[in-house]
Amino acid sequence: MSIEKITFGKTKETDEVLEYLLKRNGVTLGILNYGATIHKCLVETSKGVRDVIGGYDTVKEYEDNDGYQGALIGRVGNRICRGKFSIDGVDYTLAINNGENSLHGGLKGFDKYIWTVTENSEADCDKLIMTITSPHMDQGYPGKLKVTVTYTLNDDKSFSIGYEAESDRKTVLNLTNHSYFNLTGFEELNVLDHKLKLYCSNFTPVDHTLIPTGEIRPVKGTAFDFTEEKTVGRDIEAKDLQLEYAGGYDHNYVIDRTQEVSYRNTTLFKTAALTSPDDVLSLEVATDQPGVQVYCGNFLHDDIVFKGSKPQRRRSAICLETQHYPDTPNHPQFPSAYLDKGERFKTTTLFKFTSR
Ligand code: GLA
């Protein structure tokens, strides 16, 4: 029922980094003004408190590592092919930072911004309202863009991320959060025994650089089928070119949008349900976005150390990044990620825990 503010450290450019702690009914969220990053997420269970979101102990590690731990991603989450797209006949070229492609906003994405924070506690929730202004042509993107991200911690062991934005000229936008979940609290440094259900009957296959081919492919009968709950690892080593390209799951799923969830005057759709191997903790994700990138940490390096001196391990956690499909600006048949001049961008994702 309160928001506490503590000093976390300083960036290389000597900006002060603060951590805001939101606490309510057995859940504590720690959020940094650096990258609007979720630094920790403590959930009480019958087997003790578990910190279920990966991260680091220092600002320097957030600055030096490339895993986007817990970070807010923008302007455009995921990949844009060769960093090129056009709007109304005008070509744009973005900063390239992932092989030949642009990933997660470029060299200085929103994960590296210092956000301005306003706190607000209400009877049934605590809110952190975080804002930045990204200048015209930031990383190659057109339009001066004002972004507001609101983290809301509710009474029922859920938190939401509300994204709002407005641009002074037509642009493209795809905001998400890049939290790595491990519902054992990283006691087990592998996520393959977690159980996962996805409310998604299709996914978007990719080429070897992880750019969608444009196809929308049914998951039925393939390793990509999570429409019935199964462990993350059950089929991860199946012989499948898509799994080979990504070294495991790192794909955008098309959300079925058939099961509605009402949340504070918005309609969201059930997207994913993740359960710890010991069944003590579950996480349900719902969103109004069209897709979710399911990424199970195939690129996490073994030589990096997480919070609390825990070694980071390949496939030790899973990201459920609600989003527009990757490379949307180059696929007119995908749901549009254009934002018109003066248009109000608004989207919400809800994360709800059930602990036993
Ligand atoms: C996303 C991508 C992955 C990887 C991570 C960051 O989830 O889909 O391929 O680049 O970000 O390491």
Task: Please tell me the residue having the least CA distance from ligand 1 atom 8.
Answer: 250
Residue nearest atom 12 of ligand 1, based on CA coordinates: 67
**Binding-site residues, ligand 1, Cβ < 6 A:** 67-68, 78, 103, 210, 250, 293, 295, 299, 319, 321
Q: Which atom of ligand 1 is nearest to the CA of 77?
A: 1
Active-site residue identified among 178, 194, 324, 331: 178
Q: What is the pLDDT of residues 218-276, one digit of tens each?
A: 999 999 999 999 999 999 999 999 999 999 999 999 999 999 999 999 999 999 999 99
- C-alpha count within 13 angstroms, C-beta hemisphere, residue 338: 15
Q: What is the pLDDT of residue 272?
A: 99
- pLDDT of 307 > 70? The answer is yes
Q: What's the whole-number mean pLDDT along residues 97-119? A: 97
Of 76, 295, 320, the residue with max ligand 1 atoms within 8 A of its CB, to mutate for a pocket test, comes to: 295
Query: What residue type is assigned to position 64 of the chain?
Result: D
pLDDT in tens, 41-55: 999 999 999 999 999
User: Which whole number is the average pLDDT over 202-224?
Assistant: 98
310 CB contacts (<8 Å, ≥6 apart)?
A: 186, 189
Helix H, strand E, coil C: the string for 258-316 is CCEEEECCEEEEEEEEEECCCCCEEEEEEECCCEEEEECCCCCCCCCECHHHCECCCCC
Determine the straight-line distance between the first and last CA of the chain, rounded to whole angstroms. Answer: 22
Output the CA 222–ligand 1 centroid distance in Å: 22
For residue 31, pLDDT beyond 70: yes
How many angstroms from the chain centroid is the CA of residue 74? 10
Q: Rounded to whole angstroms, how far apart are CA atoms 310 and 56? A: 10
What is the Cα–Cα distance from 341 to 166, expressed in whole angstroms? 7
| pLDDT at site 1 | 59
- pLDDT for the residue 48: 97
| Spacing, Cα 273 to ligand 1 middle (Å) | 20
Name the residue among 156, 139, 57 with its Cα closest to residue 103: 139
DSSP 332: T
Please list the residues that pair with 40 across neighbouring strands: 30
pLDDT value for 103: 98
Closest-lying ligand 1 atom to the alpha carbon of residue 178: 7
Contacts 24+ apart (CB under 8 A), 119-123: 119/3, 119/5, 119/20, 121/1, 121/2, 121/3
Question: Does the pTM exceed 0.85?
Answer: yes
What gap in Å lies between CA 350 and CA 220, rounded to an integer? 27
Q: Is the pLDDT of residue 298 over 80?
A: yes
In sequence order, what are the beta bridge partners of 348?
162
In angstroms, what is the span from residue 21 Cα to ligand 1's centroid?
27
Does pLDDT of 207 surpass 80?
yes
Residue with token string 């470029």: 106
Q: Tell me which of 19, 166, 284, 321 is the catalytic residue.
A: 321
C-beta pairs of 132-137 under 8 Å, 24+ apart in sequence: 134/74, 134/75, 134/110, 136/168, 136/169
- Find out whether 199 and 272 touch, Cβ atoms under 8 Å: yes
Lookup: tokens for 183: 């519902």
**345 has a pLDDT exceeding 80:** yes
The token duo for 330 is: 């180059």
How far apart, in whole angstroms, are the C-alpha atoms of residue 120 and residue 139?
32
Contacts 24+ apart (CB under 8 A), 303-308: 304/61, 304/65, 304/67, 305/56, 305/61, 306/54, 306/55, 306/56, 306/186, 307/39, 307/40, 307/51, 307/54, 307/55, 307/56, 307/57, 308/51, 308/57, 308/186
Whether 159 and 127 have beta carbons less than 8 Å apart is answered as no
Q: How confident is the model at residue 167 (pLDDT cuts 50, 70, 90)?
A: very high
Write down the pLDDT at residue 2.
73
**pLDDT digits 0-9 by tens, 308-326:** 888 889 999 999 999 999 9
Mean pLDDT across the stretch 277-285? Answer: 98
178 is catalytic: yes
Q: Is the dihedral of CA 82, 83, 84, 86 positive or negative?
A: positive
Q: Please tell me the distance between residue 66's alpha carbon and the centre of ligand 1 in angstroms.
A: 9
The sign one gets for the Cα dihedral 58, 162, 299, 223 is: positive
Nearest residue (by CA) to ligand 1, atom 7, is 295
Q: What number does the ligand 1 atom closest to the CA of 321 have?
A: 7
Q: What percent of the chain has pLDDT over 70?
A: 100
pLDDT at position 193, please?
A: 98
CB 15 within 8 Å of CB 26: no
